[in-house]
A and B are shown apart, each in its own frame.
Chain A
Amino acid sequence: MDHDFNEIERRVRRYWFKDGIGEMVIGGLFVLLAIYVAGHQWLPVDSNAPLYLDGGLILILLLGIFLTNRLINVFKLQITYPRTGYVEYYPAKGEEFSAKVFIFLSFAGFVILVVGVGKWVGTFRWLPSVLGLLIGLTLIIVRLRAAELNRFYYLAGAAFGFGLGASLVNWLPQYTVSLFFALFGIVLFATGFITLRKYLRENPLPKEDAHER
């Protein structure tokens, strides 16, 4: 019996991913990140621009997360809610202030660790593999929490594969990280797009005013 209750809760959680909009927007964010990372190499070396770009990374990421949420909500309002209904979820644990501080400090710690290990080992070629591993594991956790979203296993596989592949390419580290972000972003966007097309085909806009009780 409890199993049935849990399945209903999982089904409601799955609904957020039903339209593929989140994947499309986050995929787009990854492509922008790829351009940002590669952009370092295009800036004049003797200027302060690369330094400012580094310092602004956290701000850009926070702004990116904020805009991503807004954009997803705007698209869902136009596409999803009129078709299959509106659901307001409880804020994720990460949306509490203390959790935001923890995430911020963890991210800062991760960057320091990456730079430290990179300087110690003398290379940053392993970085795309680590990023692929982290992103892949996140996707597997999402899949396990919501169940039946098997495309997340494939996306996790893509993250592992692209991360490993980018690490093996003999380019500058910025370009290999950029390559990883670009490839993964494009795949994420593509799976989101396919999911959205299927969703639109299966859920045409109701003709009558279905919102009236």
Chain B
Amino acid sequence: MSADLRNLTDVDRLIHEPARLLIATILAGVVSADFVFLQRETGLTKGNLSAHLSKLEEAGYVRIEKTFKGKLPLTVCKLTASGQKALAKYRQQLQDFMNKTS
């Protein structure tokens, strides 16, 4: 197996999963977003989104806080510094692979 392909197998599997990759990419561009927004943008069911967020939270990639904006209860999600780093590394690995193989 070439080094390029081996590098691709080293990608972070937690971020690599499409739904989680989408969640992380959405959160990377903002300070925070709430559960409703993430659900609408990803098209996932509540249970599914909740499960993926829990996995990201366990890995320390996402921080979840229950808060209020005025009287509106919100479940706010933020991508942590290690989440940002993991996503950036994943994107770089993918980009390198694409550059070398195309």
Contacts and interface: CB of A to CB of B under 8 A. Distances in A.
Nearest to B31: A88
Contacts of A77: 69-70, 72
A82 interface: yes
Interface in B10-39: 22, 25-26, 28-39
B59 interface: no
Contacts, number: 85
A8 B34 contact: no
A125 to B, nearest CB: 44
Contact of B29 (A9, A86, A210, A212): A9
B33 A87 contact: yes
A82 B91 contact: no
B7 interface: no
A86 B34 contact: yes
Nearest to A86: B34
B82 interface: no
3 tightest Cβ-Cβ pairs between the two chains A and B: A85-B37, A85-B36, A86-B34
Interface of A: 1-2, 5, 8-9, 11-13, 15, 77, 81-82, 84-90, 206, 209-213
12 contacts: A1-B95, A5-B25, A5-B91, A9-B28, A15-B37, A77-B72, A81-B34, A85-B34, A85-B39, A86-B76, A87-B30, A87-B34
